[in-house]
Amino acid sequence: MSNVKRKFFVAGTDTEIGKTFISTALIRAFVANNLSTVGLKPIASGAEPVQGVLKNDDALQLQQASNMSFSYSEINPLCFEPAIAPHIAADLAGQTLNVEELANRVVMPDEADIILVEGAGGWLTPLNQKETYADWVEQEQLDVILVVGMKLGCLNHAMLSIRDIQSRGLTVKGWVANFAQGKMNMAEDNVKWLKQNITAPCLGVVPFQDTANSKPQDADASLANTVAELLDVSALL
- Go through 158-186 and write b for each residue having 16 or more CB atoms within 10 A of its CB, e for each that does not: beebbebbeeeebebbbbbbbbbbeebee
Whether 41 is catalytic is: yes
Q: Are 11 and 166 in contact (CB under 8 A)?
A: no
Helical residues (DSSP H) of the chain, grouped into ranges: 19-32, 57-65, 72-75, 86-93, 99-105, 133-140, 154-167, 187-197, 221-228
The bridge status of strand 53-55 relative to strand 43-45 is unpaired
Q: Give the closest residue to 121 by CA, choosing from 88, 143, 93, 99.
A: 88
- CB 120, CB 97: distance < 8 Å: no
Q: Which of 41, 55, 151, 173 is catalytic?
A: 41
Give phi and psi for 143, each to the nearest 5. Answer: -75, 150
5 has which bridge partners?
none
| Rounded distance between C-alpha atoms, residue 162 and residue 131, angstroms | 18
Going by DSSP bridges, is the β-strand pair 114-118/37-40 parallel, antiparallel, or unpaired?
parallel
- Tell me the catalytic residues: 41
